[in-house]
């Protein structure tokens, strides 16, 4: 037990220290994990840790990553990108594989081994490239979008690679002790070719059918228990179960989870699954990259440094040339062409996965795989230098006389509604009438099922979770409507969004007056009390029923709203000052002061509204000044939040 805790502590300390440092240095999290693994490799040697076994366990992070990739692949998005996916992406993968294969055959490798090497080296680093482009603000540029299309194609290409590479296995594959053990747990070990194919197709069909028919009822059943941990357990159960089934029929677990992800891409529970699985995916991938770094053979690197460096430079130069050719054929601008060519020239994290896969499957000699592992790692380490070279050398020269094309603006998720209920539902219908298509997130499975029956865009999940908001597109949203019942969660949600996404306009539903103050303190400046408007309308109707003419009743109602808004502006800072305690003497004293001021108005001019702002200013509370100090924009029609 102590040794396990020591090992876990060692990996966690290395990751927690190295990854933030690497990220700040612009190297990215993947390289941070690799460096962390390199740093702890001597300690692992002293502890006699089997790094390969850790790597096999951590590969489950790749299984989870492909499940999440599948969840993102909505048919409409793929169709819009079909030209670049097939042309740029497919062309890059095929041409790079053929180039590496040709070079390998020239150097005397069997064509099967050379093809496996081409598959490994054809891929680029999704994690490094996307993170770097995002940090530089280039992801929406034409070159950034072309890079994204190629990376997406590569992610998809991993699936057929994992399925077809075993066909290249060298003689003697599958006869070791590990293979014998796996055969004992295989459903196809004693079957002939046709029987194996039928069982395999049946397993894939079972995954598709179960994903479409069983996921909804299972998650609805779990939702009734109202326990968050059960959803996490169910999500893990589904991924582990699919991976197990694929292993039993001799397929890659990653293939099965990818198929399941695509099947569930349009599911009500898509965002919930994504937010539940993502933390485990991140931790296991981090462990995987650290194990790769710890497993680097430095003796081999120093012994064959010239060869490894030559292979790395040759790979990056060849990939860059292929990418530049494709960029020219697809008419990318010169500046975007260089960004595209240099940014994707490295090998990628999936190369580590495929290398471990081809060695375990006896497809490639371990000695060659060790050399290629060093090539992959070194090319990734050199990627930040390529981006610096692009920014400081290539871009200034290529940009001379070339007008940069406008960035492509994707249609954002303009409005997110947190909570559907009796408030959020009405808001949604009004917005749809205005031509908007809001995304609804609600934690009630019954509500979501009802909405989906009518073909409406709604997702099951906890909107107060940051990862759920990220999955729903909060970074690109223009507006968030907070209509959930739990006042504490609503306030926490407002505070989080206003702190991390200040560009998002937040409209919040308040339970009562004190909740208005809490939301105001959290940063919201557009607050609607759920009963206020209806109460004002009832009061106005009561006045008319008692004989007061319509115009006077309307004027009195509007005056009351203005008075109440003025009081809210003045009382909100006081409520914050006393820590939200309505029984604090300072809060009570200010409340009594404003009530006395209202009574004074009644005594002087009779029952009348709309005079509070002027009287409060005369008494030392300048409402306009307080509003400006607290970031409230006043207008005659909507004088203050909290209406």
pLDDT reported for residue 178: 43
Q: Which of 403, 449, 455, 353 is nearest to 61 (CA)?
A: 353
Name the residue with higher pLDDT: 460 or 203. Answer: 203
Please indicate whether residue 349 or residue 438 has the higher confidence score (pLDDT).
438
Average pLDDT, integer, range 209-221: 84
Please name which of 456, 418, 454, 420 lies closest in space to residue 436, comparing C-alpha atoms: 456
Among residues 303, 300, 318, the alpha carbon closest in space to that of 377 is found at 300
Q: Between residues 448 and 424, which one has the greater pLDDT?
A: 424
The per-residue pLDDT for range 427-478, each reduced to its tens digit, is 988 988 888 888 888 877 667 767 766 666 677 778 888 878 887 888 889 9
> Which residues, 6+ apart, have CB-to-CB distance to 315 below 8 Å?
100, 121, 347, 375, 379
* pLDDT at position 322: 95
Give pLDDT, residue 375. 93
pLDDT(640) > 50: no
- What's the pLDDT score for residue 170? 62
Residue that wins the pLDDT comparison between 144 and 171:
144
pLDDT (mean) for 187-211: 80
Q: For residues 111 and 105, what is the distance between their CA atoms, to the nearest angstrom? A: 6
**Tokens describing residue 113:** 């081994």
Whether the predicted pLDDT of 552 surpasses 80: yes
CB neighbour list of residue 118: distance below 8 Å, 6 or more residues apart: 96, 97, 98, 99, 100, 101, 104
Band (pLDDT 50/70/90 cuts) for residue 306 is: very high
Give yes or no for residue 365 having a pLDDT over 80.
yes
Confidence band, pLDDT 50/70/90 cuts, at residue 620: low
pLDDT at residue 631 in the model? 55
Characterize 266-279 residue by residue with b for buried, 16 or more Cβ atoms within 10 angstroms of its Cβ, and e for exposed. ebbbbbbbbbbbbe
- Identify the pLDDT of residue 404: 42
pLDDT higher than threshold 70 for residue 177: no
DSSP one-letter string for 572-640: HHHHHHTTT-TTSHHHHHHHHHHHHHHHHHHHHHSS--S-HHHHHHHTT--HHHHHHHTT----SSS-S
What's the pLDDT band for 619 if we cut at 50, 70, 90? low
What is the reported pLDDT for 445? 65
Least confident segment among 424-428, 443-447, 500-504, 550-554: 443-447
pLDDT at 78: 64
110 CB contacts (<8 Å, ≥6 apart)? none
* Band of residue 395 on the pLDDT scale cut at 50, 70, 90: confident
Predicted confidence (pLDDT) at residue 180 exceeds the cutoff of 60: no
Q: Check whether 405 has a pLDDT greater than 60.
A: no
Mean pLDDT of 524-551: 89
Task: Please enumerate, as own/partner, the contacts of 159-162 that have beta carbons within 8 Å and a separation of 24 or more.
Answer: 159/66, 159/252, 159/254, 159/255, 159/258, 161/119, 161/354, 162/252, 162/254, 162/255, 162/354, 162/357
**What average pLDDT is seen over the chain?**
80
- Model confidence at 352, pLDDT cuts 50, 70, 90, reads confident
Give the residue-averaged pLDDT of 339-350: 88
* pLDDT given for residue 481 in this prediction: 95
**Mutual angle of helices 585-605 and 550-577, in 10-degree steps:** 160
Rounded percentage of the chain residues whose pLDDT exceeds 70: 83
pLDDT in tens, 585-618: 888 888 888 888 777 777 776 666 666 666 666 6
Q: Please give the Cα distance from 277 to 202 (Å, whole number).
A: 26
Give me the pLDDT at residue 449, please: 63
Question: What pLDDT is stored for residue 639 in this prediction?
Answer: 38
Closest Cα partner for 529 from 512, 552, 549?
Answer: 512
In angstroms, the CA 619 to CA 608 distance is: 18
Q: Which of 26-40, 179-193, 508-522 has the lowest mean pLDDT?
A: 179-193
Between 324 and 193, name the one with better pLDDT.
Answer: 324
Among 82-91, 336-345, 484-493, 607-616, which stretch is predicted with the lowest mean pLDDT? Answer: 607-616
How far is the C-alpha of 94 from the C-alpha of 153, rounded, in Å?
11
pLDDT digits (tens, 9 = 90+) for 54-96: 777 777 777 887 788 778 766 666 677 778 888 889 999 999 9
pLDDT band at 332 (very low <50, low <70, confident <90, very high): confident
Q: Which two tokens stand for residue 108?
A: 């005397």
Q: Does residue 181 have a pLDDT over 50?
A: no
Average pLDDT over residues 41-45: 83
Give, rounded to a whole angstrom, the gap between the first and last alpha carbons of the chain: 60
**Per-residue pLDDT at 176 exceeds 50:** no
Distance CA 434, CA 418 (A): 19
Q: Looking at residue 312, what is its pLDDT?
A: 94
Q: Is the pLDDT of residue 563 over 50?
A: yes
Residue 633 has pLDDT above 80, yes or no: no
Identify the residue with better confidence: 145 or 495: 495
Look at residue 410 and tell me whether its pLDDT is greater than 50. Answer: no
Domains of the chain and any CATH numbers: 2-169+192-398 (1.20.1530.20), 410-530 (3.40.50.720), 533-643 (no CATH)
> Residue 629 pLDDT > 80, yes or no?
no
């Amino acid at each position: 037990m102590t040794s396990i805790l020591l090992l876990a502590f060692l990996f966690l300390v290395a990751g927690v220290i190295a990854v933030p440092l690497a990220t700040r240095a612009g190297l990215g999290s993947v390289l941070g994990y690799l460096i962390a693994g390199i740093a702890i490799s001597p300690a692992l040697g002293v502890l006699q840790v089997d790094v390969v076994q850790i790597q096999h366990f951590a590969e489950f992070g790749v299984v989870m990553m492909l499940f999440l990739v599948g969840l993102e692949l909505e048919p409409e998005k793929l169709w819009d990108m079909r030209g670049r996916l097939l042309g740029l992406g497919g062309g890059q993968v095929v041409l790079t594989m053929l180039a590496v294969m040709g070079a390998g055959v020239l150097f005397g490798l069997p064509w099967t081994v050379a093809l496996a090497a081409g598959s490994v080296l054809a891929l680029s680093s999704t994690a490094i490239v996307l993170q770097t482009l995002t940090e530089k603000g280039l992801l929406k540029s034409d070159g950034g979008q072309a890079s994204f299309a190629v990376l997406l194609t590569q992610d998809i290409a991993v699936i057929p690679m994992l399925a077809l590479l075993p066909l290249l296995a060298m003689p003697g594959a599958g006869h070791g002790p590990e293979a014998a053990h796996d055969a004992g747990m295989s459903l196809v070990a004693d079957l002939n070719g046709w029987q194996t194919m039928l069982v395999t197709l049946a397993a894939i069909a079972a995954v598709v059918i179960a994903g479409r028919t069983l996921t909804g009822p299972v998650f609805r059943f779990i939702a009734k228990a109202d326990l968050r941990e059960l959803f996490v357990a169910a999500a893990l159960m589904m991924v582990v179960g699919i991976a197990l089934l694929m292993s039993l029929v001799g397929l890659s677990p990653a293939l099965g989870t990818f198929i399941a992800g695509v099947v569930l891409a349009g599911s009500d529970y898509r965002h919930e699954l994504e937010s539940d699985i993502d933390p485990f995916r991140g931790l296991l991938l981090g462990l995987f990259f650290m194990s790769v770094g710890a497993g680097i053979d430095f003796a081999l690197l120093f012994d064959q440094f010239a060869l490894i460096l030559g292979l790395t430079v040759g790979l990056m130069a060849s990939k860059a040339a292929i990418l530049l050719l494709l960029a020219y054929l697809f008419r990318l601008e010169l500046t975007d062409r260089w960004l595209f060519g240099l940014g994707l020239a490295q090998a990628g994290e999936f190369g580590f996965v495929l290398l471990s896969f081809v060695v375990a499957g006896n497809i490639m000699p371990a000695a060659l795989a060790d050399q290629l592992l060093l090539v992959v790692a070194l090319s990734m380490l050199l990627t930040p230098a390529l981006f610096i070279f692009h920014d400081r050398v290539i871009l200034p020269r290529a940009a001379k006389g070339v007008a940069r094309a406008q960035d492509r603006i994707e249609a954002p998720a303009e409005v997110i509604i947190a909570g559907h209920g009796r408030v959020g539902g009405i808001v949604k219908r009004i917005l749809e009438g205005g031509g908007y298509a809001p995304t609804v997130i609600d934690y009630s499975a019954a509500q979501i099922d009802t909405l989906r029956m009518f073909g409406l865009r709604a997702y099951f999940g906890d909107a107060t979770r940051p990862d759920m908001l990220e999955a729903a597109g909060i970074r690109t949203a223009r507006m968030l409507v907070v209509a959930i019942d739990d006042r504490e969660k609503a306030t926490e949600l407002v505070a989080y969004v206003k702190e991390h996404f200040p560009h998002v306009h937040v409209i919040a539903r308040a339970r009562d007056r004190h909740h208005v103050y809490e939301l105001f303190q959290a940063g919201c400046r557009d607050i609607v009390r759920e009963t206020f408007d209806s109460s004002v309308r009832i009061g106005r109707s009561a006045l008319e029923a008692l004989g007061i003419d319509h115009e006077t009743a309307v004027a009195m109602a509007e005056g009351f709203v203005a008075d109440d808004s003025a009081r809210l502006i003045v009382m909100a800072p006081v409520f914050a000052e006393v820590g939200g305690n309505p029984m604090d003497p300072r809060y009570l004293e200010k409340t009594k002061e404003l009530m006395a001021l209202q009574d004074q108005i009644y005594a002087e001019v009779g029952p009348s509204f709309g005079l509070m702002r002027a009287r409060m200013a005369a008494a030392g509370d300048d409402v306009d000044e307080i509003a400006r100090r607290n970031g409230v924009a006043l207008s005659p029609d909507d004088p203050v939040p909290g209406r």
